[in-house]
Amino acid sequence: MTTSADRPRRALVTGASSGIGAATVRRLRADGWDVVATARRGERLAALAQETGAETVVADLTRDADVGALVAHVRDTGGLDAVVNNAGGAFGQDTVEGGDLEQWRAMYEINVLGTLRVVQGVLPLLRERGAGDVVVVTSTAAHGAYPGGAGYTGAKHAERMLATTLRWELVGEPIRVVEIAPGAVATEEFSLVRFGGDAERAAQVYEGYQPLVADDVADTIAWSLSRPPHVNVDLLVVRPRAQANNTTIARTGV
C-alpha cells in the first residue's frame, strides 16, 4: 500500500513483542507497510525485526520519557501514517471486594494512560502527514461486564471512551479513529499473564471451542486500515463463533 507520493505507508504498532501486536506487524509488513514496532522486551523485538524487516524501538509506555523518545524517533526517521495502539493486558480476576489495587492501577496505566500518551504524542505527526489513522485495540470487555472482571473491563471501557471521544473531537480533520474489540483470543501470553503464570488455569479459558488467534485480529486491523480514506470503521467487534458474549461460550468441542 502506497501514498500519493509513491512511498510505503508507515505505521507504529505498540505491544509488538507478542500476540496481536506481533501478528499485526507481520501482516502490515506483508501488505507493504513500513512498520515501527515497539514494546518493552528488546530481545523479542529483535527477533521480530529479523523475521519481518520491521524497525523496532524498545519503550515502556507507562514512562513519559520512553514515549517521548519513541515519538521523537518516529518523527525524525520519516513520520507516520497510522498508529495501532495494541499494548495492554489484564491482571487477575478478583472480585471488586477483593480486588488488588496495584493490579487495577497497572491495568489503567498500560491500557488507558499508555494509549493516551501515545495518541497525544503521534497526533501532530499524523497532522503533518495531512491524514492518518488511529487504531485502538480494546476488547469486548470494553462493551460489557462479567464477575471478576471489573478491573479489566473498567480499564477497557475507559480506553473505549478515549477512542470514541477522540473521534468526535477530531471531526472535520482527515484523521480516522478506529476501535477494534476482540473477544476471546488465544495468544501465548494474555491469559498466562492474567493468572500469574498458572498455565493450567490459562488453558481452561480456551477449552472446548475454537477461540480466535492473533492473526484473526491482525486481519481486521489491516482491513480497517485498507479502506478508502472517506470510510471510517468506527467499531469492529470480532468474536469466535462459539462466543455469544463475555460470559456465554458454547464449549461443544468444535
Cell numbers representing residue 3 in the block: 501514498
Burial of 69 (0-12, 13-18, 19+ CB in 10 A): middle
CB 48 within 8 A of CB 56: yes
Residues 231 and 54: their CA atoms lie apart, in Å, by 27
| Listed residue (77, 29, 64) closest to 50, CA to CA | 29
Active-site choice (108, 152, 206, 209): 152
Residues 244 and 23: their CA atoms lie apart, in Å, by 25
Q: Where are the alpha helices (DSSP H) in the chain?
A: 19-30, 42-52, 64-76, 101-108, 114-129, 150-169, 190-194, 199-204, 214-225
**Whether 152 is catalytic:** yes
Tell me the catalytic residues.
Answer: 152
